[in-house]
Every structure is written in structure tokens, then in C-alpha cells.
């Protein structure tokens, strides 16, 4: 008997991780990837908005500030755990902890991404490991 | 992201933005958007068809307000959807981004 073809869902399911170059054009690609990953899942519009916003802000920060020369190598992964979706963004740029960094005092200066990350993710954690930054953003599925 | 221009009476320019004002969208319109904001005295930026806004888009809007104001003009945002305006207020950028609900109010704001 020939092997069964993969189920349609598995055949089209986007991977739960993606590698990106640290350039502005890649941020839109990451948003497309996230939207494809969320599409078959019953998440609210507010949750999808919050996840996309946080992904965009974290990536923009890496692209603009992660390297003094060249492009950072970025990896993003998604996982579902204990009633939450967890977005983990890693990069090989300079060490930067968005959890403890001081946000700007004025929206005119820039750095609004930090404020948005803190307000739109339910929780965040950071670690530096093997020369890479790892930022994990957790979004509750029940909030 | 799409940008359409419409001339209204009394020298008012309505810029209708359609799409997402994120890194990709801001990159697509920024140059032309800033040039129009800086060269027209009365500008209404119709945000009602913008479904997503990120901080890079806020920067685009703030730069347009500053460029317009620097030439003595007036610029107001029209009818942003709730989710988009929440991003603005979360950053405190509503302090520098004038907004109006309804076209009549927007026209009055730049007249």
C-alpha cells in the first residue's frame, strides 16, 4: 500500500520558527509568517494585534540598534504552552535587555517600542546566552 | 500601503491611507507622505482604513505633523480605529498628534 499523503492541515501548516536577516524588509515577512501561523487558530483579533505589534517592535529594535556593523541574525519561534502563546525572538546583536531598559520620557525621542512591548505582552523575560539575546513574550489565550 | 489624495474646498488636502502603517507600510509611503505634509497648508489624514499601527508608523505621523507645522500648516488625523488609536495613546503620542472624529470636525480643525 502506498504511503498516505500528509493531511492537508499538516501540509500547509507554517513552521513554528523562522530565521530572518536583521533588515527592515524582513519585519514585514515576519508579520506575514505570524499571521499564517495564527490563521488556523481561534485567537481573538486583539490577541493577534498584540502579538504582531510586539513582534514588529522587537524586530525593529534589533534592526535599528542590534548591530553597529552588518546585519544581525534573527530567529523567531512560536509555541503554545499552558494557556498562552509564547513568542521568542533571538539575535546575535549587542546585549540588550528590553525588560529592564529605561523607556524614553517623550514619544518624540523614539523608543516607543519598549513601552508597547510592556503594555501589549502579558509578560516578558530576557536572557543572554551563547552570544545571543533571547526575548520571550507571553500572551494569554484566556485574557 | 496605499495613499490617495483628495482636494477638498478651501485648500484642504485629504490623504487617505489604506493598509497597515508598520515597517513595510511606512517604508512604502514615507517619502511621498512627508513631502505632501510639508507642502500643503491644510491636511486631513484619513486613518479610518488603517488597520494596524506600529511605533515606526507613529514616527511617520509625528514627522508629518512637525514638517507641516514647521511651514505654518495644520494637520489632523481623521477617524483612527480604536485599536490603532490605542497604540498612539499607549505611547503618549496623542499629545502631539491632533485627532478629529468625523470629516466636519477634521475640516474645522485645519480651517
Distance from CA of A3 to the nearest CA of B (A): 42
Q: With 50 as the cut, is the pLDDT of residue A10 above it?
A: no
- Average per-residue pLDDT for chain A: 87
Chain B: nearest CA to A71, how far in angstroms? 17
- Cβ partners under 8 Å of residue B13, min gap 6: B5, B6, B7, B36, B40, B42, B43, B44
Q: Where are the domains of chain A?
A: 16-140
Q: Which CATH number fits domain A16-140: 3.30.565.10, 3.40.50.300, 3.30.428.10, 3.40.50.1100?
A: 3.30.565.10
Mean local confidence (pLDDT), B24-29: 95
pLDDT value for A9: 47
Residue B3 touches partner A, C-beta closer than 8 Å: no
Banded model confidence at residue B35, pLDDT cuts 50, 70, 90: very high
The per-residue pLDDT for B101 is 98
CA dist A139 and A141 (Å) reads 6
3-state secondary structure of A112: helix
| Whether the predicted interface score ipTM is above 0.85 | yes
Judged by average pLDDT, the poorest of A2-6, B56-60, B86-90 is: A2-6
Split at pLDDT 50, 70, 90, the class of A38 is: very high
Q: What is the pLDDT of residue A102?
A: 83
Angle in degrees, CA A105, A110, A111, rounded to 5: 80
Beta bridge partner(s), residue A138 = A86, A123
Share of chain B above pLDDT 90, in %: 100
Chain B residues whose CB is inside 8 A of the A107 CB are 58, 62, 91-93, 95-96
- Rounded CA gap, B59 and A56, in Å? 14
Position with higher pLDDT, B6 vs A83: B6
Residue A107 — very low, low, confident or very high, per pLDDT cuts 50/70/90? low
CA distance A63 to A60: 5
Q: Please, what CATH class does the domain formed by B2-110 belong to?
A: alpha beta
pLDDT computed for residue A8 by the predictor: 45
Amino acid at each position: 500500500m502506498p504511503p498516505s499523503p500528509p493531511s492537508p492541515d499538516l501540509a500547509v501548516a507554517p513552521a513554528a520558527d523562522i530565521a530572518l536577516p536583521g533588515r527592515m524588509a524582513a519585519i514585514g515577512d515576519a508579520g506575514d509568517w505570524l499571521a499564517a501561523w495564527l490563521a488556523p487558530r481561534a485567537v481573538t483579533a486583539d490577541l493577534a494585534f498584540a502579538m504582531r505589534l510586539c513582534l514588529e517592535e522587537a524586530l525593529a529594535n534589533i534592526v535599528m540598534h542590534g548591530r553597529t556593523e552588518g546585519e544581525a541574525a534573527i530567529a523567531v519561534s512560536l509555541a503554545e504552552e499552558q494557556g498562552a502563546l509564547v513568542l521568542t525572538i533571538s539575535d546575535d546583536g549587542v546585549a540588550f535587555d528590553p525588560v529592564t531598559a529605561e523607556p524614553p520620557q517623550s514619544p518624540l525621542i523614539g523608543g516607543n517600542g519598549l513601552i508597547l512591548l510592556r503594555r501589549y505582552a502579558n509578560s516578558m523575560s530576557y536572557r543572554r546566552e551563547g552570544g545571543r539575546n533571547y526575548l520571550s513574550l507571553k500572551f494569554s489565550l484566556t485574557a | 500601503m496605499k495613499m490617495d489624495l483628495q482636494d477638498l474646498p478651501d485648500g484642504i488636502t485629504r490623504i487617505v491611507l489604506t493598509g497597515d502603517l508598520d515597517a513595510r507600510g511606512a517604508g512604502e509611503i514615507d517619502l511621498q507622505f512627508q513631502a505632501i505634509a510639508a507642502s500643503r497648508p491644510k491636511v486631513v489624514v484619513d486613518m479610518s482604513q488603517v488597520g494596524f499601527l506600529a511605533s515606526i508608523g507613529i514616527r511617520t505621523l509625528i514627522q508629518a505633523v512637525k514638517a507641516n507645522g514647521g511651514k505654518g500648516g495644520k494637520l489632523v488625523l481623521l477617524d483612527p480605529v480604536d485599536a490603532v488609536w490605542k497604540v498612539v495613546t499607549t505611547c503618549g503620542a496623542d499629545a502631539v498628534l491632533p485627532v478629529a472624529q468625523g470629516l466636519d470636525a477634521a475640516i474645522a480643525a485645519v480651517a
